[in-house]
Amino acid sequence: MGLTVAEKILSAHLVKGELKRGAPLAIRIDQTLTQDATGTMAFLQFEALGLPRVKTDLSVSYVDHNTLQNDFLNMDDHRYLQTAAAKYGVKFSRPGNGICHQVHLERFGRPGTTLLGSDSHTPTGGGLGQLAIGAGGLDVACAMAGQPFYLVMPQIIKINLTDRLPDFVSAKDIILEALRRLSVRGGIGKIIEYAGAGVKTLSVPERATIANMGAELGATTSVFPSDAATKQFLQAQNRGADWQEITADADAVYDTEIRIDLNTLEPLAACPHMPDIVKKIAEIKNLRVDQVLIGSCTNSSYKDLMTVAYLLKGQKINPNVSLGLAPGSRQTLEMIAANGALETIVAAGARILESACGFCIGMGQAPSSGGVSVRTSNRNFQGRSGTQDAGIYLVSPETAAATALTGYLTDPRALKLKPCRFTPPHKFQTDDSMVLEPNPATEIIRGPNIKPCPRRGVLTEILNGEILLKTGDNITTDDIMPAGSKILPLRSNVPAIASYVFAGIDPSFAKRALDKKGGFIVGGENYGQGSSREHAALAPMYLGIKAVIAKSFARIHKANLINFGILPLTFVNPADYAKITRGAKLEMANIISALKQRANITAVVENQKIELTCELSARDRKILIAGGMLNFAAQT
């Protein structure tokens, strides 16, 4: 039987288990990436593992998220990360060099290898035929220490792309169409593999846009074949030697197949407040827009920025719109600066922002109250922009530029311009001087805000307490552990950041949890979707949360809960969700025995019995019994 691209890469990296759908397996990790918002904890955890240097082929530490320097906090983290990277054999991409996923794609990702990153958009590397997976910082620290990555073998969905995109319809519209059809839960437990004649019409950065937003589908990862376009991209990046061809066998077997006819697509927008509320731009009439922001790891490649410059050329933006543009990397910024496109963009009235995550993670550029913001980024969860009542629309760079000109959400075809004919460059401007090489003689510098990573004690047979919060479906990690310029600088200080857990939904949550010495959270479907931030588990653990009981969990968040010793339990009978109310008392007995015997756990909630289960591998059970991964690693 033939193999898919994902199966080929997985089988070449298999350490334990087999490629049977639903079976546990462990894979060797070739490369890791960390970023500054998750990286400080990941490096503290790596230090706790006691190794003199990393064991991967390549590990890169990026600074791209917390680049505002309102006080010493972020800068202290940068200094810690720079010195720790140098000491432990990790390359360090300095602030200003760009967004981790964009820079990794340009300079480091290699087809056929595995990449584990402490950021949910790590699958961007799938655009190059790399098997790139997002994980919590602790899992990445373990991979840096040479340990394999454990996962459950996902199903593999084939998305067959036919034909080619019409003018002014772009890669972003392809992934928005996939989100429209599959929803934010459609990719859970799945790898998405792209195939078909349409793939050949897409360059690597366009493929990366699509793979990037596979995270919004909840997919484990997304992957494209490595073909002639991949070779051309790597050669233009001066990395031709990194290329190898990887394509699916003709008789490869997929679990599901979906077809997207590219020629039928139209410009689309994800509407507030979820990436899967997708509509045709043409159907959203007369939407006046206050802000347009172009950038993020989804859409800030050289092609994206050149397209924006093409649309803005000789024009002025609408006076009611604030247009910001953040190039994804210093490479793209240098190139548009050198060829005059930057001048065009500035002349049109754009505000040029740093090559960093910036607005995408609420580090500045919060919209006005009740404002409408049109962005090329990947997440429009309520409040993530920094303004709770703003409405965020996610669109392509073409739509964003057209909107900035008219002041209304605009289908770029309405501008009646000649099609923009972009050919991928033969040579990108390559200069890695902002990536620092390691030096083991470096002394690590730790600022006063960097506090050790708290640990949980071993699991006990009986857990009891109050249901502190009951949520609905699709709760995001931004809901659980908000980000933004005020809270993100506290990522290295769990006791301090813990006071913001659920701050947007339930501001008294943290205090209540501490006063009651912890308790339980009840969630709906897809609890913990979105980011890989382990603080969404670590901070609740610090507050004493013992278990989360939900209808279903998002993959990375579930793994993070296990790593920090919080039980991720699901209802045997989902209708029991309705029986639990906030404030009710809950008790569970014989937990360790149930975990060991793979038996269900009975929770008693106000005299009612509710059967709970946990879908866990044998290793996950051991980690939970040990009280989390750090305790488990110390035992083994």
Residues 6+ apart with CB under 8 A from 168: 267, 398, 411, 412, 413, 417, 419, 420
Asked whether position 132 contacts ligand SF4 by CB under 6 A, the answer is no
Residues 6+ apart with CB under 8 A from 409: 269, 281, 284, 287, 289, 372, 374, 393, 395, 399, 403
532 binds, among ligand MIC, ligand SF4, none (CB under 5 to 8 A by kind): ligand MIC
Asked whether position 37 contacts ligand MIC by CB under 6 A, the answer is yes
* d(C-alpha 440, C-alpha 231), whole Å: 34
Nearer to ligand SF4, 119 or 304 (CB): 119
* d(C-alpha 353, C-alpha 365), whole Å: 10
Per-residue binder mask for ligand MIC (CB under 6 A), 44-73, x = binder: ---------------------x--------
Among residues 133, 213, 297, 626, the one that binds ligand SF4 under rule CB under 6 A: 297
Q: How far is the CB of 36 from ligand MIC (least distance, A)?
A: 8
300 binds, among ligand MIC, ligand SF4, none (CB under 5 to 8 A by kind): none
Count interface residues toward ligand SF4 (CB under 6 A): 11
Nearer to ligand SF4, 42 or 360 (CB): 360
* d(C-alpha 5, C-alpha 487), whole Å: 40
Q: By three-state DSSP, how is residue 197 classified?
A: helix
Q: Which candidate in 13, 30, 61, 65 is catalytic?
A: 65
How crowded is residue 439: how many other Cβ atoms within 10 Å of its Cβ?
Answer: 11
Question: If you search the block for the tokens 């003018």, which residue do you land on?
Answer: 167
296 binds, among ligand SF4, ligand MIC, none (CB under 5 to 8 A by kind): ligand SF4
Count interface residues toward ligand MIC (CB under 6 A): 12
Q: Which candidate in 531, 552, 576, 620 is catalytic?
A: 531
Asked whether position 485 contacts ligand SF4 by CB under 6 A, the answer is no
Nearest to 114 by CA among 11, 255, 22: 11
Q: By three-state DSSP, how is residue 635 classified?
A: helix
Q: How far is the CB of 16 from ligand SF4 (least distance, A)?
A: 30
Pairing of strands 149-152, 131-134: unpaired
Q: By three-state DSSP, how is residue 205 classified?
A: helix
**Residues 233, 132 contacting (CB under 8 angstroms):** no
Choices 114-122, 251-259, 418-426, 516-524 (CB under 6 A): range interacting with ligand MIC: 114-122
Per-residue binder mask for ligand SF4 (CB under 6 A), 341-360, x = binder: ----------------x--x
Binding residues among 411-450 for ligand MIC as defined by CB under 6 A: none
* d(C-alpha 41, C-alpha 50), whole Å: 15
Report, in angstroms and rounded to the nearest whole number, the Rg of the chain calculated over CA atoms: 23
Q: Which candidate in 13, 207, 330, 533 is catalytic?
A: 533
Q: Which residues bind ligand MIC (CB under 6 A)?
A: 37-38, 65, 119-121, 134, 361, 483, 531-533
Q: Which residues bind ligand SF4 (CB under 6 A)?
A: 65, 99, 119, 121, 296-297, 357, 360-361, 377-378
Catalytic site positions: 64-65, 119, 379, 531, 533
